[in-house]
Structure 1
Amino acid sequence: MTTLNHNYRQGRSGRPLARAKARLKREGSNVCWLCGRSIDVSLPSTSPMSWTLDHAIPLSVRPDLALDPSNHREAHRRCNSTRGNRTDVTWPKQANSRNW
């Protein structure tokens, strides 16, 4: 196993990431960086609108940034999943804007 794969795996799970998630959830703004709407942290993790930690630069692109706090963002589970590993997202999108 290479070091790169090891870092990638450790970035997705493990105690250091769990601590980073807990801290961001506790001290963050609880606003989704992708849609600009607030996140209800009391929702169960299975809810599409629940809180998740997102990586601004996806782990598939830069696995070495997995534990870097400057790469961590708060997002709804749905927004995070929809974004995938794209990096062309600008923050924040207007929560109630219309396309004219």
Structure 2
Amino acid sequence: MAGNPRNGRPYRRLTTYQRGLRLPCWLCGGEIAYWITGPEAGRHPEAFTLDHAVPLSLGGDLLDPANARSAHRRCNSARGNRTDHQGQRIRASRRW
């Protein structure tokens, strides 16, 4: 039996790559607190999380870079497995 794929090297590599892009949250357009790392990032609502445009529960690919998005932890959690932005306040990013 294989371990959790989110603990594997390919997933960590994708997460590191996405974090390095320093993009705003794709759901609300707000700046993400990329400086928050380590154990505290797991609880902080402004911290970076890797979100998937097509949720894994709906057939999205865990390791596909085209499916990876940068999101705040709070926005990612609030969206759940919906494919639209229902319940989210969408703002355009100020980043050009």
The TM-score with structure 2 as length reference comes to 0.78
Paired with 2:85 and 2:46, the residues of 1 have a C-alpha distance of 19
Could you tell me which residue of structure 2 aligns to residue 88 of structure 1?
84
| Matched residue SS, 1:17 | helix
In the alignment of these two chains, the number of paired residues is: 85
Equivalent position amino acid for 1:30 in 2: L
Contact persistence 1:39–1:76 (CA under 8 A): yes
Q: Which residue of the partner structure matches residue 25 of structure 2?
A: 32
Alignment match, 2:71: 75
Q: Which residue of 2 aligns with 1:98?
A: none
The percentage of aligned residue pairs carrying the same residue is: 47
Runs of 4+ in 1 over 2 A off after TM superposition: none
Matches within 5 A, 1:1-100: 9-10=4-5, 12-26=6-20, 28-43=21-36, 44-45=40-41, 46-63=43-60, 65-89=61-85, 93-94=90-91
Deviations 1:21-68 (A, max 9, x none): 001111x243000000011101241211100000000011115x1100
